[in-house]
């Protein structure tokens, strides 16, 4: 999928997300805005209704992996969605130890996943910092 195609799909998904009062929609939009604003980063989008909607960013300098993060909207209950944001373990730090270590769980590599189930501004800022950290790591 082309970069513009992914952006159009993501924006269409956000626009079609029912319930403007759902804080997960607002957080997903923030993560999208952050990712689309990063230089030399291309987004992919994988939509699996009833399962998840996934943004997958990749830096243009990244050659050994297809992404540096996964930002999933978990869609098991469309009226009460939540987010799961995952990173390769060697691309980020987790100084507050808020992530769950997933041994071999990210394309065979160790990863960290962070579940967001409520409107937690501190966690959102922490994850935005992890996104920036992973993007920087991927750019090298």
Domains and CATH numbers, the chain: 3-139 (3.30.1460)
Q: Count Cβ atoms within 10 A of the Cβ of residue 131 and give its class: 0-12 exposed, 13-18 middle, 19 or more buried.
A: buried
CA atoms within 13 A on the CB side of 89: 15
State the 10-residue block means of pLDDT for the chain, 140 residues long.
78 87 90 96 96 97 94 92 96 97 92 95 97 96
pLDDT confidence of residue 1: 44
Pull the structure tokens for residue 42.
Answer: 């291309």
CB atoms under 10 Å from CB of 51, counted, come to: 13
pLDDT score, position 16: 93
Upper half-sphere CA count for residue 2 (Cβ side, 13 Å): 3
What is residue 131's predicted lDDT score, i.e. its pLDDT?
98
Q: Which DSSP state fits 126?
A: H
In this prediction, residue 132 carries a pLDDT of 97
Of the candidates 44, 126, 119, which has an alpha carbon nearest to the alpha carbon of residue 85?
126
């Amino acid at each position: 999928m082309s970069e513009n195609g992914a952006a159009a799909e993501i924006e269409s998904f956000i626009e079609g997300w029912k319930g403007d009062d759902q804080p997960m929609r607002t957080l997903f939009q923030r993560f999208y805005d952050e990712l689309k604003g990063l230089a030399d980063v291309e987004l992919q989008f994988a939509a699996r209704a009833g399962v998840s909607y996934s943004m997958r960013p990749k830096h243009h300098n990244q050659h050994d992996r297809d992404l540096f993060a996964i930002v999933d909207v978990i869609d098991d209950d469309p009226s009460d969605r939540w987010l799961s944001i995952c990173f390769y373990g060697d691309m980020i730090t987790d100084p507050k130890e808020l992530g769950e270590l997933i041994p071999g769980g990210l394309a065979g590599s160790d990863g960290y996943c962070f579940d967001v189930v409520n409107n937690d501004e501190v966690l959102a800022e922490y994850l935005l910092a992890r996104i920036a950290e992973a993007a920087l790591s991927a750019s090298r």
